[in-house]
Amino acid sequence: MTSLPGRVDLPRPLELPRTPALVLRGHRFDAARPAVMAIVNRTRDSFWSGNRHAALEDAVAAVERAVEEGADIVDVGGVRAGQEGEHVAAAEEIDRVLPLLEAARTAYPDLVLSLDTWRSEVAEAVDGLVDLVNDTWAGHDPALVHVAARTGAGVVCSHTGGLPPRTDPVAMRYADAHGTDELAVVRDVVAVLRAGAEAAVAAGVPPERVLVDPTLDFGKTTRHSLVVLRHTADVAALGYPVLQAVSRKDFVGETLDLPADERLEGTLAATAVAAWLGTTVFRAHDVRATRRVVDMVASIRGDRPPALGVRGEPTD
């Protein structure tokens, strides 16, 4: 095949965000190897019925299924995020997550395990079992980051708009001196995540174990979440690995007017956008589908080679 005569000047290639690698339990996750974080909740009231694993044997089976489907990290939680759920004291939260984490660590010694909690006493109780503390309530318990540092775990720094744990956002507003509400929420997210990451490093958590999560839906209207999602590159510019938790969330449901059971396609669309804009870790209910999407986007970006090369590839 010969090339056409003449030269075509192409525009400068788009510069895509790439953050430093996340390193946990000897595993390295970056643009070439994005991580899928499976969600396993030991609750009876999670917002999506497909992730309610109150019985220990059901939760263990969910971990096994997640690993089989390609999860790199398993995030274990014992309390529903929203205020509509049942009250769960710290002692009960420990009783829910501890036996599951013990079973998962025994079955998968090399698997990266994460604990979804805002309570330092819960993180203390699982010392030695988890590699990451997923603090979805933006440092509400200031001791939590110090527990993570002392135990050698990484930490997820989040943004909740200043709301306390288990508060559902109602009529949230963001405004700043620039006068634009749309960009004000992005500025607030970036400022809070920067402060959280710097506090984690100051507490002794190595930078390669610090994740920043814009935390869509938390402290945000659907419009806020959509704006923050399309500004993922600004979050990546902070210089820490980015986690996005978009799976079946309300902003997807409200955007498409769909219940949680029907939000997979919207979730995967949001996942692809987040991946293109520099996200490294994807918290997901649907592990296999998410794994395929993020690997495909990584290859389109040029960060990951195709798994096969038999379609017209040179032989030498």
pTM (two decimals): 0.92
Place of tokens 């395929």: 292
What percent of the chain lies above the pLDDT cut of 70?
Answer: 92
How many C-alpha atoms does 69 have within 13 Å on its Cβ side? 22
pLDDT tens, position by position, 189-203: 999 999 999 999 999
pLDDT tens, position by position, 210-247: 999 999 999 999 999 999 999 999 999 999 999 999 99
Q: Is residue 47 over pLDDT 70? A: no
Q: Is residue 315 over pLDDT 80? A: no
Q: Is residue 270 over pLDDT 80? A: yes
Tell me how crowded residue 250 is: count the other CB atoms within 10 A of its CB.
19
pLDDT at residue 242, as a whole number: 98
Tell me how crowded residue 162 is: count the other CB atoms within 10 A of its CB.
12
pLDDT at residue 260, as a whole number: 95
pLDDT at residue 3, as a whole number: 52
pLDDT level of residue 176 (50, 70, 90 thresholds): confident
DSSP state at residue 157: E
Domains of the chain: 26-301 (3.20.20.20)
The angle formed by the CA atoms of residues 104, 136 and 117, to the nearest 5 degrees, is: 45
